[in-house]
Amino acid sequence: MEKRKTFGGSLGFVLAAAGSAVGLGNIWRFPYLAARDGGGLFLVIYIILALTFGFTLVTAEIAIGRKTKQSPLTAYGKLNKNWTWLGWISSIVPFIILPYYCVIGGWVLKYLIAFLTGHGIDAAKEGYFTDFITSKGEPLIMMFIFLFAVTVVIYLGVNKGIESFSKVIMPVLLVLVVGIAIFSLTITKTDDAGVTRTGLQGLKYYVIPNLDGLTVKKFFNVVMDAMGQLFYSLSVAMGILIAYGSYVKDDANLPRSINQIEIFDTLVAFLAGVMIIPAVYVFSGTDGMASGPSLMFVALPKIFASMGKAGTIVGIIFFAMVLFAAITSAMSVLEAIVSGMIDSDKRFSRGKAVIIEFIVSLALACLVCFGYNDLYFELKLPNGAVGQILDVMDYVSNSILMPIGAIATCILVGWVIKPKVIIDEVEKSGDKMGRKRLFTVMIKYIAPVCLFVLLLMSLGIF
């Protein structure tokens, strides 16, 4: 059998993992939650959770990957024979996520093309987004291009594909985010009533903690929002970090890489807020904040349109940046699946695994697209949201399977194989792991309990 590939260096690994972590969640959900949950208050809680809860989950998964040198499908079984089933959960999650993530990736591509071809103004018109996603041809074509591009990168493999691509794209992404963030701080506008709002006022609204009317219940909600966001943002419980961890060399400095991945992800999330909140504030005031598709595909194009000529350029840069963020995340999801197929009993070659998964995802992604026309339905989900096929897949993977997988991982590491196995793995290279006690307490007690509360909330029980 072919020897397992490894990332050429720490930088490649850090940028690939950060590429996975930085995705649509950072851009369309983090700023909204921060604006809604008291600005700086949310930011402080998020950072504290990233250094404790996030750090614990990321460390556990990367170390499991490096220790076992196995894909998510096979790694858990290698740690303990009775836990093979957890490998299946961790592999089903990316399998469900990939198709719908590619559909959204296709939407981003469509908007980028619209701005590039000078049709950015149309994108601001009422009904543009709905007309597009309910149409029959274009969403399919865009999804196909996106999925195809992701498949090519993964076909090229760990070094020529994932590592090389991430090393180019991630620095560019950072530059684009910083550029738009700075621009956003410079805008000002006077509305018809003569009120002038500036980007800097918007920044204050974002970063200064707003404790007005804070109650214990509200505080609890902010903590749970931050935790849910963090959990999704770090790409844990999707099998991804195990797959990427399995390609890290034994002598690499894991503690340092883990810190860098977390810093990168949190920095981009924070900057996405600097990019979006002041712009929304200047053009629509504090009530204008939206999240998810309606922020990205409806509210922001309107803002770009009201910026005149500059809006076209900002729109191009913005959607290019989002496309990069989405591609590197989708790559990691596909790799989590493909690595499992390669390591499974069937021992698929990379080429075969990639082609099979491409065909299956394509079929499922077509269904997701049809969910907005021929297969349209409205289903009320247990968490109160109403959705189509895409939302159902998102709900099952993110709100149900991911918390279950993460709770099980905590139990396996905390109580079955014991935290020391992970700590020893992290320190194998001779680099000291900080926060060891914290890691042990977190993984045994605090993280599983928090995740359980998160699960109950998603189920609408809490």
Residues in touch with ligand PHE (CB under 6 A)? 20-21, 23-26, 97, 101, 232-233, 235, 238, 329, 332-333
Strand, coil or helix: 386: strand
How many helices, marked H, and strands, marked E, lie in the chain?
23, 4
Q: How far is the CB of 27 from ligand PHE (least distance, A)?
A: 8
Burial of 349 (0-12, 13-18, 19+ CB in 10 A): exposed
| Rounded least distance, CB 59 to ligand PHE, Å | 17
- Nearest approach, Cβ of 212 to ligand PHE (angstroms)? 29
* Between 90 and 235, CB nearer to ligand PHE: 235
Is the Cβ of residue 166 or residue 440 nearer to ligand PHE in the bound state?
166
b vs e for 241-272, b when ≥16 Cβ sit within 10 Å of the residue's Cβ? bbbbbbbbeeebbbbebbbbbbebbbbbbbbb
Nearest to ligand PHE of 267, 438 (CB atom) = 267
Structure letter (DSSP) for residue 432: P
Minimal distance in Å, beta carbon 262 to ligand PHE? 12
Question: Residue 410 CB, nearest distance to ligand PHE (Å)?
Answer: 19
- Residue 209 or 292 with smaller CB distance to ligand PHE: 292
Residue nearest to ligand PHE (CB): 23
Nearer to ligand PHE, 22 or 413 (CB): 22
Alpha-helical segments (H) within 117-253: 128-134, 138-157, 164-186, 199-207, 216-233, 240-245
Q: Radius of gyration over alpha carbons of the chain, in Å?
A: 21
Residue 319 sits at the vertex; the CA angle it makes with 127 and 355, to the nearest 5 degrees, is 100
CA 38 remoteness from chain centre: 22
C-alpha distances (whole Å) from 253 to each of 65, 257, 429 are 15, 6, 6
Dihedral angle computed from the Cα positions of residues 48, 51, 57 and 60, in that order, rounded to the nearest 10 degrees: -160
**Min. distance of Cβ 260 from ligand PHE in angstroms?**
16
Query: Which CB atom, from 165 or from 205, has the smaller least distance to ligand PHE?
Result: 165
Comparing CB distances to ligand PHE, the nearer of 243 and 314 is 243
Q: How far is the CB of 254 from ligand PHE (least distance, A)?
A: 20
Minimum distance from residue 96 beta carbon to ligand PHE (Å): 10
CB of 376 to ligand PHE, least distance (A): 24
If the CB atoms of residues 332 and 458 are measured against ligand PHE, the closer one turns out to be: 332
Closest CA to 280 of 187, 174, 182, 178: 187
Question: CA nearest 229: which of 461, 38, 54?
Answer: 54
Cβ contact 328:153 at 8 Å: no
Which is nearer to ligand PHE, 38 or 105 (by Cβ)? Answer: 105
In this structure, the strands spanning 196-198 and 188-190 are: antiparallel
